[in-house]
Chain A
Amino acid sequence: MSKITVKILRNNPDGGEIKDFEQYSININKNSTILEGLLQIYERYDSTLSFGYGCRVKNCGLCAVNANGKPCYACVTRIEDGMEISALNHLPLIRDLVFDRERFFAFLNSYSPYVERKDAPETLPETMVQPPEHTLLMSCRECFACMSLCPQYDHNDESFGGPLAFVKLAQLHYDCRDAMDRPLQAEQLGISNCVDCKKCACISGIPLNKIVIRPFLELFQNKDKEQNR
């Protein structure tokens, strides 16, 4: 067991948005996780520290935080001496490390973020072969880390949906049952403002640029060329 010091960016909505790093000294073992550190602080020193977590094994997507400025799952990332832990970037904060997810989904709701079919299935169960991209995208943790990594995204700017919005549209785009024009929606959500910087790497391992960003960008660029001809 060894003693380390970590800093956590606190944010108190009751006290007028005071944001400051607070320092804590904790005991860790080999392989101790960030979540373990947060829980130790919570249990021993300060049970007003707010942070999200659920399953403790990177399935639920609730515990994503920035560690030294990089997003990760607190439940499966080693905690280190001197680590700075803060909430994900670009999102509306509720308290400390907890941010508001509802606002984004409410915004996305005007784009029918669900399977819109043309016809009812012919048989039950339905015969269908989904492309592998669809399966991959349905394993998205909706953890918002990609939004934190995107330099273009800001929750106050509704002209740009951000990577998670494009992921949701791509899920439906690849879904063989969906009949809506999702590339058009990607355009409406500002895919043309994406600078293709490839920074929105998924921390759950989905090849975001390859199966979401590139295809939408290319569809937009091709359409743009066609119109200019």
Chain B
Amino acid sequence: MIYKDCDLLCIGGGGAGVTASVTASRKGAKVIIASKEPVGYGNTRIIGGVMAYGDLDGDKKGEDFFRDMVVGGDFLNNQEFCRMLAENAPEATFILEGFGGVLGRDGEGKISEKALVQLGGHTSPRTLLVPSTGPGIGQALRYAIFRENIEILERTLITDLIHEGNRVFGAVGYELSSGEIIVIRAKKTVLATGGAGWIYYPRTDVTRAVTGDGFTLALNSGAELIDMEQVQFIPFSLTHPPGLVGIVVGEPFTAGPEGILMNAQGKDILPGANLKTRAEVANAIILEVEKGNGTEHGGCLLDLKNNKNHPGGKILYEQFTTGLFKNITDIVRYAYGPKAASWDEPWDVYPTAHYFMGGVVIDVWGRVKGVENLFACGEVCGGIHGGNRLGSVSLMELFILGKRVGECASAEMNEEIHKVDQDSLNYYRDKLRRMFGSQGKHRPVEVKRELQKIMWDYVGPARTENKLKKGIELLSSIREKADDLHISNAKIYNTEFIDAIELGFMIPVSISVAESALRREESRGSHVRLDYPQRDDENWLKNIIIRMNNENELEVTSRPVRLTEIRP
């Protein structure tokens, strides 16, 4: 067993984690960053290429941006966060560029109105393009980490937080490359593990490491999760070949003014699809396929051809063939052939899971509510985006919140590292060691795939009470299987061990999503209940909260949203 001590341990090496780590390191903290994948190779690296900058509105201080976030989030947001983000938005650009990244500018090299674009849900152009796309951000994150004296533990899978009651003192993990179990004692611990899109694999566009680790680590140490039912689905993704299922090829606007979304028989299932919300389009496709009107690949058809004879549609076509969305055309060509890439043949499409609005309850400095010494930033946090996150806002948010976490954690640094009782460290160690070479019935990856299928079939978009109840019942059988796993005894890079740990994270997260979705008897934001199709402000202007009780069971409650500034 390897032991390490530090002031601040950051779990997760994406944009939020790197920003928190770098900020704390600059304030003099001794920082360790533990990342399952190499640092900067996570979800932040594969963003679409847009980041909110804010309005060039002088004295208005982001008033419109604030309103757009709350209205877009269907009033579930914690408005204090939206206010803080809207006021500070441009700082995200300064942070990223300080790391060595570069955002889009006008011909004179300035950030002016000419450099800003307007995305869906935003009432003004306030978003910058990322010229190098996501990988350029990933590289800037690596620049930033290398510049600091930060210890990097790459390919290190954190398995447990070390905690006594609701006080956290670091974490235990598995170093994939050496095969060693590692104990990291820390004064402050940061969760920056991202969301949990992978519980819907293959119907997701997130990177494979995003298995909800931070949600479960937080629950286990006494934190609350908020609005876990709010999962954002993007309507258009590939349906085949199997290796590319779930890869995003478009948003509602991709349909363009003349695009037709049709079933396998060629019937238009949603006229004007380009102006509908992500949730409306996603649900239309799922319902049509459920009725038996899907294609042989289980999707609907997006016919874009007529756009080529329409002035607005033509501009869109150019963006896809030579402009900003050229990468999408490349992947459509690979999967569906040249005629689909030139819009002469329709695309076979189906929704895909993209982003978790729900997550760990924190305050505006990223302190995890109810847990001492624990912070969180990035997608693992909940309550910021309410029921629906506007495009380009999460990339901005993770830099702002990451920096706040780094500042706050280093300002509140404890005097000494807590001396964790050796018996409890041995408990974590023995628990992990027992897993290596265990001779149970099920291979972890099989159970993982079973869970993912349940999540998509019963807790995906287009929910009903019956489906959710069935999903919850099936998830409890997954829990039993997860106690009976077969894991090789390989020491180095044991993939079955990784699967087993990740499965252990995915189960509570999946149950949290399903239970929250069952509890919310209305449709709001990204949560659509076919049996309660309307938004119900009278009864459901509430946040749904999940916590773990003393018997290690998940409890669901709800509380009224604190509408501190604006109301519906």
Contact = CB atoms under 8 A, between A and B. Distances in A.
- Answer yes or no: are A and B bound together in one complex: yes
Interface of A: 12-14, 29-33, 35-36, 39, 42-43, 47-50, 53-57, 59-62, 75-76, 94-95, 98, 100-102, 105, 109, 112-115, 124-130, 134-136, 138-142, 171, 175, 177
A226 to B, nearest CB: 32
A47 to B, nearest CB: 5
Most chain A CB within 10 A, of B176, B209, B327, B334, is at B334
Nearest to A12: B490
B15 to A, nearest CB: 14
Interface of B: 37-38, 41-42, 45-46, 90, 93-94, 97, 100-102, 105, 108-111, 131-136, 138-140, 142-144, 146-147, 152, 154-155, 176-177, 179, 205, 207-209, 240-244, 246-247, 327, 331, 334-335, 443-446, 449, 488, 490-496, 499
A43 B493 contact: no
A109 B179 CA distance: 25
B241 A54 contact: no
14 contacts: A30-B241, A35-B243, A43-B449, A47-B499, A53-B208, A112-B147, A113-B146, A124-B94, A127-B109, A135-B131, A138-B136, A138-B140, A140-B135, A142-B142
A33 B244 contact: yes
Given A53-B208, A75-B243, A125-B94, 14 more contacts: A13-B493, A30-B241, A42-B445, A47-B445, A48-B490, A48-B494, A54-B37, A56-B208, A62-B37, A98-B493, A102-B152, A105-B142, A139-B136, A175-B100
Most chain B CB within 10 A, of A30, A128, A142, is at A142
Given A31-B334, A129-B105, A101 B97 contact: no
B135 A55 contact: no
A47 B443 contact: yes
A203 to B, nearest CB: 13
Contact of B41 (A54, A98, A139): A54
B38 A101 contact: yes
Most chain B CB within 10 A, of A42, A115, A130, is at A115
* Chain A interface helix/strand/loop/mixed: loop
Nearest to B42: A54
A128 B109 contact: yes
A59 B135 contact: yes
Contacts of B208: 53-54, 56
B54 to A, nearest CB: 11
For the complex of A and B, list the 3 residue pairs with the smallest distance between their C-beta atoms, beginning with the closest. A36-B243, A138-B132, A138-B136
A100 B177 contact: yes
B491 A36 contact: no
Contact of A125 (B37, B97, B100, B142): B97
Contacts of B176: 94
B447 to A, nearest CB: 11
B346 to A, nearest CB: 17
Contacts of B240: 29, 31
Contacts of B209: 54
B102 A138 contact: yes
Given A50-B493, A54-B37, A60 B46 contact: yes
B101 to A, nearest CB: 8
